Amino acid sequence: VTSARRADWVGVALTVILALLGLRSYFVVMPRRYPPNLEDVIFWRAQEMETGSNLVFVEGDSSPGFSVWGIEHFDLDVTYHSVPAERVQSADFRALCGSDCRVFCLPEDAQVVLERLRAQLGAGAVRAHFGPGGRVVGVEFAPQPAGGNPP
């Protein structure tokens, strides 16, 4: 009975070890090896946002007609806005953002876009998103909530 019981525990221990290694590979190793593209990042962020939030993407010259498949095909209760980069200076981000929003842009447009966002929305959290080879594929701006700290 003891050797059978010991074999059971060895089997359980091996199963747990393999499961932990698999989870580490899935959640740690794979995202480093295959980072998400900007479309995936935007879609995941939209899924995390509260109902009634706004998500804005500033379309650069290299992304005309950019759309997020997941936002178009799933009912996320998040409003998606697209602003061409050439209209950033005249865009009213206060109206587009409402009470809760995230603004994404391409790295080549980040300086101009972030200046305009800070002028209209004040301080906020800025996060670069990295793609294959460690290059920046997009920049995210989250305005500071009224009376609070940046998200």
Residues 19 and 53 in one domain: no
**Please, which pLDDT band fits residue 2 given cuts at 50, 70 and 90?**
confident
Nearest to 104 by CA among 145, 71, 147, 73: 71
pLDDT at 146: 58
Count H helices, E strands: the chain? 6, 5
pTM of the model: 0.76
Indicate the average pLDDT of the chain.
88
Nearest to 53 by CA among 117, 103, 100: 100
Do the domain assignments include residue 151? no
Residues 121 and 56 in one domain: yes
pLDDT at 83: 93
State the sign of the Cα–Cα–Cα–Cα dihedral 72, 69, 108, 119: positive
Residues 61 and 130 in one domain: yes
State the average pLDDT over residues 104-132. Answer: 93
| Total number of domains constituting the chain | 2
Strands 79-84 and 54-59, by their bridges, are: parallel
Nearest to 33 by CA among 106, 134, 144, 150: 134
Residues 133 and 85 in one domain: yes
Do the domain assignments include residue 84? yes
- Structure confidence by residue, pLDDT tens digits, 9-52: 999 999 999 999 989 888 888 877 888 889 999 999 999 999 99
Nearest to 106 by CA among 122, 79, 84: 84
Domain of residue 26 covers 1-34
